[in-house]
Amino acid sequence: MSLTSEVKKIARKAGADLVGIASIDRFDNAPADLHPRTIFGHPESVIALGCRHLRGSLKVIEEGNYWQAYNCDSYQYLNEILAPHMLRKITVFLEDQGYTSVPIHNPFSSHQGRPVRPGGTRPDGLISLRVVGCAAGLGELGLSKLFLTPQFGPRQRMFALLTDAVLDPDPLFTGSVCDNCGQCAKACPGDAIPLERSVEFKIGDRVFSHALLDCEKCRYPHIGWDPCYSPFLKPDSSPDNPPEYYKWLDTRFRHHTICGGRGCIRMCMDHLERTGRIEKRYQTPMVEGEQWIIEEELR
Ligand code: SF4
Ligand code: SF4
C-alpha cells in the first residue's frame, strides 16, 4: 500500500468522513500571512480532513426542540476529542516513517504574538481550513462562504495536517454543489450573507468565490442574542447577565451556539437535499414548512 493510501486509511479509521490531499504548490497564490509555511517551514503536502455534523443535531434545532446535541457533538466532541485523536494518529504514523507533521485543530487563536526574526510573520500562524478543503479536492465554497462537499453539502467541520511527506495530491473538485439559490442569505437571521460573490481566489486553474460574510452581523444571532431566534433569552438577559442555559452550555461543552446555521447550514442542506445536489437522500426533510421565529408574545 502506498504512503498516501495508508494515511487515508488511518484517517478514516480514526473517524474522518472525508480525506483529501493537497500538494503545497496549491497554495502558491495564498496571501503570505495565510500560507501553510507561516505554521511549518517544510510543508510538502496538506492533508484535509472532514468530519460531518450530525444531521439529527441540526434537525432538532430546526424543530426548535433541543440544542445540546449540536453544541456537544459539533463543537466539543469534534474540536476537542475527535480532531486531536484523529490528527495525532496520522501524525504519529508519519513520524514513524521519518516525516514531521503538524496537526491544525479548530478553533485556534492566530497572529497573537510578535515575529521572532525580521521579516517573519506573527505567531500563531493561520491557514483557512475551508481553503484547505478546496485545495485538497474535497469540494468548493458556497455563496455563504461555507465549505460545501458533494457528500454533506455544508454539513462538516474541517481539520488539516501539514507534513513534509510528499503524498499523492487529489485532483481539484471540478463540479459545483452551490447553485447560488440565495436561500442561505434569505434565512440568515443576522442578514450577514450578501447575495453577491465578491471574494475570489485561485487554486491551480480553478477560481473559487464566495460572498463577503459579515462576521459581526452573524455573531449576534449565532451566540444567541436575538430574541426572535433564541428560546433561552429572558427580558433582562444581557452579556453581563446571560441565561442560565448559556452558562451551562459554556461550562459543560465550553461553547454555546444558538443559531445552529439557520440559513448557512440548515436551509442550505434542505435546498441541496431537495434538489438532488448532494449524494445522499434522507427519510425526514431538514426544513418542514416555515422556519420558526419566536413571536413577540412568547419572548
Ligand atoms: S443556500 Fe444556496 S446559495 Fe447558499 S450556499 Fe447553499 S446552495 Fe449556495
Ligand atoms: S450562523 Fe446563523 S447568523 Fe451566522 S451566517 Fe449562518 S445563518 Fe447567518
**Read out DSSP for 255-292?**
----S-SIIIIIIHHHHHHHTT-SS---SS-S--SSPP
> Is there an atom of ligand 2 within 6 Å of 188 CB?
yes
pLDDT band at 298 (very low <50, low <70, confident <90, very high): confident
- The residue assigned the cell 431566534 is 229
CA of 112 to the centre of ligand 2 (A): 26
pLDDT digits (tens, 9 = 90+) for 101-138: 999 998 778 999 999 999 888 999 999 999 999 999 99
Mean pLDDT (whole number) for 206-216? 97
Q: Is the pTM of this model over 0.95?
A: yes
- 190 CA distance to ligand 2 middle (Å): 6
For 154-163, write each residue's pLDDT tens digit.
999 999 999 9
187 lines ligand 1 (CB under 6 A): no
Q: Is the pLDDT of residue 266 over 80?
A: yes
Q: Is 149 in the pocket of ligand 1 (CB under 6 A)?
A: no
CA distance 295 to 65: 16
- Cβ of residue 182 lying under 6 Å from some atom of ligand 1: yes
Q: Which residues, at least 6 apart from 139, have a Cβ–Cβ distance to it below 8 Å?
A: 133, 147, 148, 149, 150, 173, 177
Q: From the CB of 261, is ligand 2 less than 6 Å away?
A: yes
Confidence of residue 299 (pLDDT cuts 50, 70, 90): confident
| Smallest CA separation from ligand 1 atom 7, residue | 178
Which residue has the least CA distance to atom 2 on ligand 2?
Answer: 261
Most ligand 2 atoms within 8 A of CB, residue of 143, 144, 216, 262 to mutate = 262
Q: Of all helices (H) and strands (E), which one includes residue 147?
A: strand 147-148
Residues 6+ apart with CB under 8 A from 54: 69, 70, 73, 74
Candidate of 264, 269, 286, 287 to mutate for ligand 2, largest count of ligand atoms within 8 Å of Cβ: 264
Ligand 1 center–CA 178 separation, angstroms: 5
CA-closest residue to ligand 1 atom 2:
181
What local confidence, expressed as pLDDT, does residue 119 receive?
Answer: 87
Q: What is the pLDDT of residue 243?
A: 97
Helices (H) and strands (E) in the chain, counts: 9, 8
Q: Is the CB of 155 under 6 A from ligand 2?
A: no
| Helix axes of 3-13 and 83-96: crossing angle, nearest 10 degrees | 150
pLDDT given for residue 246 in this prediction: 97
> Does residue 153 register a pLDDT over 90?
yes
Q: Phi and psi (nearest 5°) for 103?
A: -80, 135
Q: What is the pLDDT of residue 106?
A: 82
Looking at residue 183, what is its pLDDT?
A: 98
Tell me if 184 CB under 6 Å of ligand 1. yes
Q: Render pLDDT for 15-73 as a digit per residue (tens, 0 to 9).
A: 999 999 999 999 999 999 999 999 999 999 999 999 999 999 999 999 999 999 999 99
For residue 72, the 8-state DSSP code is: I
The three cell numbers of residue 10 are 488511518
